A and B are shown apart, each in its own frame.
Chain A
Amino acid sequence: MTTQLSLTLGPDAAQALCIRLDGVGVTFRSSRGAVEAVSEVSLDIGEGEFLALLGPTGCGKSTLLRLIGDLIPPSRGRVEVRGQAAHAARQRNEFGFVFQEPALLPWRTALENVSLPLEVVGFPPEKRRARGKELLRLVGLLGFRNSYPHELSGGMKQRVAIVRALAWGPSILMMDEPFSALDELTRNRLQEDLLALWAVEHKTIVFVTHNISEAVYLADRIVVMSPRPGRIAAVLPVRLPRPRLPEMRDTLEFLEHVREARKALGV
């Protein structure tokens, strides 16, 4: 077969390497036999890069994210973070995860939810409150610090989930369709917030999405994936200037990127 080519697709040569996937594959065993979720993925992600994983449902993009974050082990190949196995990076609390659902603890207030990882990673107890308030102020929720999740809107809850993932200062932000359950206006607001955060903290971000314009608007590079089994169909650099501004969404250049990504997706 001709599809056996194992590309190493890297970021700009100037960027230091952060994450390297080398011939990674994942096979799940189910009652109907083995299912190959991810097949032969090789990919380099640079330090401070904003990378989008774009693809339809079931293309293994979430699996790939969980693989990088060492939540599941690869069946084949190797995942490295800064030259070491992904497991070592997880041990050092390098990953901050945000999921599609806010996944907050309903019996904790916004501030207490942000404090959760601080309690786990051994952040000095006397500094937790101040750090939590600082983070909530960052996303405009300081006034809601004593509110419980059910008292917050969907967008507010997701903001809490984002700062919870940043609380202890992890160097890599892992986002699994974080805005896909939100309405469009809220989604656009949160995209702006995320870019503003990224401009300040400049973490490496791996952002899973099935929304083409979201990927174009946010990312430095878009990795387009195709399903069954999940593999890389194309890698598209986004040549839009930074900072990204809302009015860019209507430019010809932006639409050209969208068109290119749509072609790579085959839709």
Chain B
Amino acid sequence: MSETQPPAFADSPSWWERVLPPLLFLVALLFLWEGTVRWFDIPKWLLPAPSAILDRFLKLKTLWLHTGLTVMEALSGFLASAVLGITLSAGIVHSRFLERGVFPYVVVSNAIPIIAIIPLLTIWFGFGYAPKIMIAAIISFFPIVTNTTRGLKSADPRVLDFMRSINATRWQVFSKVQFPSALPFIFAAFRIASSLSIVGAVVAEFYGSDRGLGYLVITSATQLQTDLLFVSIVVLAGLGIGCFSLFGYVERRFGGVETERGYRR
């Protein structure tokens, strides 16, 4: 058989072709790191070797407790923000009064440094998880409201005219035209807000808490348990990447993406 293979998959690299190069670089970096630490005998508190970090990671039985709590706080805050934010956006696009009255404060709220609010919420709600959830909610609120509002307003004005010409109710316009138009914007907002909510929960845990990944970061740093600090950072990075890929997937799958060839569901 002298037939040449058709270059069917020439443009789309296979799974391992995409994953292998960054994986190789990561392995090379880890070896370089390990080698440098051993060769120069760098103290563990300054820079622990990857093997030491892995060792700590595997032996730390309470890690999943801390991770679980932080994820719970972030997720609760994020969900509260999503529900409240989308509801507020729906109100804003339907009421000029609400838009003028509330929207400026949504924008201003974003200018307040979130770190400055944590002590206040701690005074009000104590050292439990309640203020952490609130911080996670507050930090993810702004991107959700602004994006959803923009998305709801992105509905084609001609389609809105058409809906009006057939006497559609507000609910019909919202559910059949405005909300579906906003979905890509909402999923993009979720992608950003979900990672932000983890940042919010962790930063809130810095201030007065006895568990959670934020607590782990602070205590390990003050006790110079640098290997533990690295474990926390790696877990947090994993959570962030997880959120981003999850909503990236949801966006591609359900949101519909505007490509140069048109809208694809």
Contact = CB atoms under 8 A, between A and B. Distances in A.
Interface residues of A, number: 30
B161 A150 contact: no
B256 interface: yes
Contacts of A91: 167
Contacts of A90: 165, 167
A132 to B, nearest CB: 15
A133 to B, nearest CB: 20
A16 interface: no
Contacts of B168: 120
Interface in A69-115: 69-71, 90-91, 93, 95-97, 99, 101, 103-107
Contact of A107 (B161, B166, B172, B256): B256
A204 to B, nearest CB: 15
Interface stretch (B15-23, B101-109, B196-204, B257-265): B257-265
A35 interface: no
B163 interface: yes
A121 B177 CA distance: 15
B263 A107 contact: yes
Interface in A153-183: 164-165, 168, 174
B265 A93 contact: no
Contact of B166 (A66, A121, A151): A121
A149 B262 CA distance: 8
Contacts of B263: 106-107, 148-150
Given A97-B165, A103-B159, 15 more contacts: A66-B161, A71-B164, A96-B165, A101-B158, A103-B156, A106-B263, A107-B180, A119-B172, A120-B167, A120-B168, A148-B263, A148-B264, A148-B265, A150-B263, A150-B264
15 contacts: A71-B165, A95-B165, A97-B162, A99-B158, A99-B162, A101-B158, A105-B177, A106-B256, A119-B172, A120-B168, A120-B176, A121-B166, A121-B167, A149-B263, A168-B166
